Amino acid sequence: MKRHGHKKRMLKWGLLLSTLIIILYVLAVKGIGITHHATNNDYGWNLMLVNHENYIPHNYKVELTELSNGEKVDSRIYPDLQDMFDDARVQGYGLFVAAGYRTTKKQQQLMDEKIDAYKNEGYSSSEAKRLAEQWVAIPGTSEHQMGIAVDINADKTINSSDAVYTWLAENAHKYGFIKRYPSDKTDITGVINEPWHYRYVGKEAAKEIYSQGICLEEYIDELDRNK
């Protein structure tokens, strides 16, 4: 009888453990109940570091200004963004904001579409997800969701994309914007080269980041060391 009771208890605990494992797996897949590290604003709203390790705080609020083409940006970056575009156009460059603020729902849609595209190429679900995350920020970690990043494209009836990207790379820092994902910083940012993606950090920080040839992660590390 004792042996039979022991087996029943072992079976019961085994079932409970199996159920717990299944529940944890489902939560992990759906991203439910997982605590993420929220970024802070120790150095101001314009220097909040958002990446795959630092999520946007749940209570983050943004006031938006709508651009002429319907895209929206954080109202605080609008004046400098407009100045940058005005000066570029005076110099003969045609450019426009292809993407500004995004909702979490839109960011998730972009991620799902990219994952599906890789799956259609024959990649496994896990590999498709890994590859997609090199192109699309995980929902909750996109600067677009903060309204302080813009994807800038060329009006190709006026000039080429390369011409616009070159002008931005050489001049955006004067207006408080940085090329967020340089080709030589992929190992730090975790994102491939995106010559169209510009992030607002303010004029002082942008000039320092540009002059030192560093990325935002390195700049924040520098600020942390000098506290």
What residues are labeled active site? Answer: 194
Write the DSSP string, 110-145: HHHHHHHHHHHTT--HHHHHHHHTTTSPPTTS-GGG
Other beta carbons less than 10 A from residue 100's beta carbon: 25
Neighbour tally for 207: CB within 10 Å = 15
Three-state secondary-structure class, residue 119: helix
Nearest to 188 by CA among 227, 215, 219, 161: 215
What phi and psi, each to the nearest 5 degrees, are found at residue 111?
A: -65, -45
